[in-house]
Copies of this chain bind each other. A is one copy, B any other.
Amino acid sequence: MSRRTTWEGTACPIARAADVLAEPWTLLILRNATAGTTRFEDFRSQLGIADNVLTTRLAKLVDRGLLTKLPYRDGGRTRHEYRLTKAGSDALPVLHALGAWGDAYTSSDEAAGPMQLVHVACGELTRPGATCDSCGKPLVRDDLAWRASRLREGTIPLADPVG
């Protein structure tokens, strides 16, 4: 057989998580979903991913319970959007750990500052963790936003999970 190895059901939770999350595009889809993207066409154009690959990735993420496919009205028509579930939104620490590692050990071709996290409740920057570095209050997802110094808009609120 030469099918790619899967670690579904393995005893090691790192391997099981990697089996779901560590496929090409998957983490970037989750990143953009966390930043508020919900629609097929928006994922496609923001990521530059081939649409057949996007179809299979989104289907797998829905299957594994990280995204849900919900109908919405677009003018008079019904379309579908992909929204984060709790499982999908709880991948945030993985994204933050990756971002911290990427900031420390890789470099950008473009001028790009480090990834920043804003505690909207107090308005200050913080590192990911249990409490805010600036005001000391517990960090809850609703009060967090990403800030990318290279983008014109100030902050990107983190999308709420459905359900």
A residues neighboring B (CB under 8 Å):
4-5, 7-28, 31, 48-49, 65, 87, 90-91, 93-110, 112, 114-115, 129-130, 148, 150
Residues of B with C-beta under 8 A to A114: 13
* Neighbouring B residues of A18 by C-beta, 8 Å: 27-28, 98, 102
Given contacts A107-B9, A129-B129, contact A23 B21 (CB under 8 A): no
Closest residue of chain B to A18, judged by CB? Answer: B27
Q: How many copies does the complex hold?
A: 2
Beyond A87-B105, A93-B97, A108-B16, whether A24 also contacts B5 by CB under 8 A is yes
Chain B residues near A14: list those with CB within 8 A: 27-28, 31, 95, 98-99, 102, 115
Indicate whether A22 sits within 8 Å of B20 (C-beta atoms), given known contacts A94-B97, A102-B14: no
Known: A65-B105, A90-B104, A129-B129. A99 touches B13 (CB 8 A): yes
The answer to whether B112 and A11 have CB atoms under 8 Å apart is yes
Please name the residue on chain B nearest to A104 by beta carbon. Answer: B90
- Whether A98 lies near B94 (C-beta < 8 A) is yes
Residue contacts A-B, CB under 8 angstroms, 21 given = A8-B106, A9-B109, A9-B110, A10-B109, A11-B110, A12-B115, A13-B99, A14-B95, A15-B27, A17-B105, A22-B23, A22-B24, A22-B27, A87-B104, A90-B105, A93-B100, A93-B101, A94-B94, A97-B97, A129-B129, A129-B130
